[in-house]
Amino acid sequence: MLIRRPSELAPSDITSPALYARRREFLQLSAGLALATALPASAKLGPGKASTLSTTETPTPLKHVAGYNNFYEFGTDKEDPAQYAHKLRTTPWTVSIEGLVKKPKTLGIEDILKLAPLEERIYRLRCVEGWSMVIPWLGFPVSTLLKQVEPLGNAKYVEFITAVQPDTMPGVRRSVLDWPYIEGLRLDEAMHPLAIMAVGLYGDTLPNQNGAPLRLVVPWKYGFKSGKSIVKIRFTDKEPTTSWMKTAPQEYGFYSNVNPDVNHPRWSQATERRIGEFSKRKTLPFNGYAEQVASLYTGMDLRKNF
Amino acid sequence: MNPSLLKPPLFLLCLGPLAWYGWGVYADTLGANPIEAVTRGLGTWALNFLLITLAVTPLRKYTGWVWLAPLRRMLGLYVFFYATLHLSTYLWLDQFFDWPAIAKDILERPFITVGMICFLLLLPLAATSNAFAIRKLGGRRWKELHRTVYAIGLLAVLHYAWMVKADIAKPLLYAVILGVLLGLRALWLVQEKRRQLAGAYLKKKPLGRIIPIVVRK
């Protein structure tokens, strides 16, 4: 077991020129693919303000971050999203925020991008399947977005509803999951400073397969909690039933916090394979963010509330 | 067609999947998670060879290609070959020979339990895949033993289906193909029973010793 100590790199040193070169290759490639729905190449979003919440671990190469995805709307194989997501229409894009709020709103993506200065958040991502990555996201706190609508006092949960475009998403023609894909958080989880709305990664706009143009990133929970391509956010007083809870309630709970001591019924969660590494790592409680988030769950039985 | 001429090229052809994954690891063409790709790929090929082996007899019966029959043993042994590699990748690259964790996995995770049973059931078949064992066991007992391959097929598909998260399309496809291959055997059994009950084997002069599968009246 290789135990890595955090390196002493400045945040600006983390993305190597070689990676940036590969990013360009990738963008050129996807631009070629996207010719049919050609959009003018936009100026770079990033690099974004560095954040003290970022990890100093080495980011996973972009080709893997954008080439190995679970985005079932585009197919259930890991390579499907990279192959098919270029068709996703990301403009125009609106997000309606509604439910138990004082001022329900529908915001265009261009307005959302102006809500707050973008930050670079380099987070670990742990998939429920037992692999992990380190991803330099570009985004802003979820709380910034949620505060726009002034939640009412009885709002306890936030539901995130994602896009369904039957003509661009080959996966939604089959009912593998209950579309649209729905995720949810408790309001205090959503307002936690670690939870972000991401609009980019590696200093630029999100590749479609990573959930363009707007996605949730909740680094202390399994990856599936971080819904992609969000179109609606609803405040509720009841715990939302998420898509995975509907599909397999005994396997996926509402909280789905990364927890090495609570196994998925069909596989162990004690270890994980960081993409690009040979040996496996021990999975950390709350994906290594216990210090920041464990207090959200004081007094809760995390085995019952898995 | 001469089966002995077919065997060497078939032997090499069956190594193709292994070569493919070997090359993939070397040339880094297996994507972000090559270890998972290799583990799953080898398992898939064990299952593929199982279905191919089970297809030999129906194919021979319906096409009259009798030269297929002598190739079946090699195909069956490739099931064992790929299953062994599949299990090895799990033990080594997934668990790094952490035996307590492996034991826990086998006991607690149904899909691993079933996969392990499959492998254990394959062992006696691989061990008796030679003329000496057939002689020693006697044809009838050997045949009975090797019928466990039907159970292995069912368990292998179950192993696959229980591993999958939500999209069971591919395991289902394997289940359908297996269903057809096993269904044919059931059909032949029923047909043979009927024929024997009708007394067909009594009217015809037997070619050799026939052991009827129905009780004589």
Digit-coded pLDDT (tens) for A66-88: 999 999 999 999 999 999 999 99
- Model confidence at A105, pLDDT cuts 50, 70, 90, reads very high
Residues B177-199 have pLDDT tens digits of 999 999 999 999 999 889 888 87
Mean local confidence (pLDDT), B203-215: 64
Inter-chain CB proximity B33 and A68 less than 8 Å: yes
| pLDDT number for residue A22 | 64
| pLDDT number for residue B40 | 96
Inter-chain CB proximity B33 and A78 less than 8 Å: yes
Mean pLDDT of chain A: 90
- Chain centroid offset of residue A113 CA: 17
| pLDDT number for residue A162 | 98
| pLDDT > 90: percent of chain A | 81
Min Cα–Cα distance to chain A from B147, Å: 29
Min Cα–Cα distance to chain B from A77, Å: 9
Mean pLDDT of chain B: 92
- Model confidence at B214, pLDDT cuts 50, 70, 90, reads low
Task: Indicate the helix (H) or strand (E) that contains A199.
Answer: strand A196-201
H helix count then E strand count, chain B: 11, 0
Inter-chain CB proximity B33 and A79 less than 8 Å: no
| pLDDT number for residue A47 | 87
Q: Is B121 exposed, middle or buried (CB count within 10 Å of its CB: 0-12, 13-18, 19+)? A: middle
| pLDDT number for residue A36 | 41
**Tokens 């809760």 map to which residue?**
A300
Chain A residues in contact with B31 (beta carbon < 8 A): 64, 67-68, 78-79
Residue B81 has pLDDT above 80, yes or no: yes
DSSP for chain B, written as a single string: --HHHHHHHHHHHHTHHHHHHHHHHHHT-S-S-HHHHHHHHHHHHHHHHHHHHHHHHHHHHHH--GGGGGGHHHHHHHHHHHHHHHHHHIIIIITTT-HHHHHHHHHH-HHHHHHHHHHHHHHHHHHT-SHHHHHHH-HHHHHHHHTHHHHHHHHHHHHHHHH-SS--HHHHHHHHHHHHHHHHHHHHHHHHHHHHHTTHHHHSPPSS----SS---
- Chain centroid offset of residue A59 CA: 15
Residues A171-230 have pLDDT tens digits of 999 989 999 999 999 999 999 999 999 999 999 999 999 999 999 999 999 999 999 999
- Model confidence at A11, pLDDT cuts 50, 70, 90, reads low
A residues 166-185 near B, CB within 8 Å? 174, 176-177
Strands in A109-156 per DSSP E: 119-126, 131-141
Which of B32, B110, B169 lies at the smallest CB-CB distance from A275? B32
For residue A3, what are the CA distances in angstroms to A288, B68, B135? 14, 54, 56
Chain A residues in contact with B166 (beta carbon < 8 A): 72, 76, 176-177, 247-248
Residue B215 has pLDDT above 90, yes or no: no
Min Cα–Cα distance to chain A from B189, Å: 37
Spell A185-201 as b/e; 16+ CB within 10 A means b. bbbebbbbebbbbbbbb
Chain A residues in contact with B89 (beta carbon < 8 A): none
Q: Is the peptide bond before A40 cis (omega within 30 degrees of 0)?
A: no
- Interface probe with B: pick from A73, A131, A209, A266, most Cβ of B within 10 Å: A266
**Closest Cα to residue B111, out of B147, B151, B164?**
B164
Residue B48 has pLDDT above 70, yes or no: yes
CATH 3.90.420.10 is held by the domain A11-297: yes
Inter-chain CB proximity A273 and B33 less than 8 Å: yes
Residue A9 has pLDDT above 70, yes or no: no
**Tokens 């290789």 map to which residue?**
A2
Inter-chain CB proximity B32 and A248 less than 8 Å: no
| pLDDT number for residue A226 | 98
Q: How is chain B split into domains, by residue range?
A: 6-200
ipTM of the complex: 0.84
| pLDDT number for residue A41 | 47
Chain A residues in contact with B33 (beta carbon < 8 A): 68, 78, 131, 273, 275
- Is beta strand A94-99 parallel, antiparallel or unpaired with respect to A230-236? parallel
Which of B31, B108, B165 lies at the smallest CB-CB distance from A67? B31
Residue A40 has pLDDT above 50, yes or no: no
